Amino acid sequence: MTYIDNLLISFPSETSNECIQDVWLEVENCITDGSVLQGGVADMDKNELQVLYEWARVSMSALRLESSSSGLWVENNVYKICQL
């Protein structure tokens, strides 16, 4: 295998923004070197997405929400972040 098509990352509850940024930076490095084609995140709330969106050099290609978390979509205005 020469590359990963789409890499989704997810974090345990209450993961620090610094940890999220460190991991996303590594995803960006993998995208830049071609070992990963696209990167996305799973199960992040609006605040986490906003922080990531504001400093990330490479935009997320996917956002995955569990069906049990679907209330977050409207309740936390996650859909507004996705429109950026």
pLDDT of residue 28: 96
pLDDT truncated to tens, each residue of the chain (84 aa)?
799 999 999 988 888 989 999 999 999 999 999 999 999 998 887 788 888 889 999 988 887 766 554 555 455 566 565 665
pLDDT of residue 30: 96
pLDDT of residue 44: 82
CB 35 within 8 Å of CB 4: yes
pLDDT of residue 66: 63
User: What count of other Cβ atoms lies within 10 Å of the Cβ of residue 62?
Assistant: 12
pLDDT of residue 36: 96
Instruction: Give the H/E segment covering residue 36.
Output: strand 36-42
pTM: 0.75
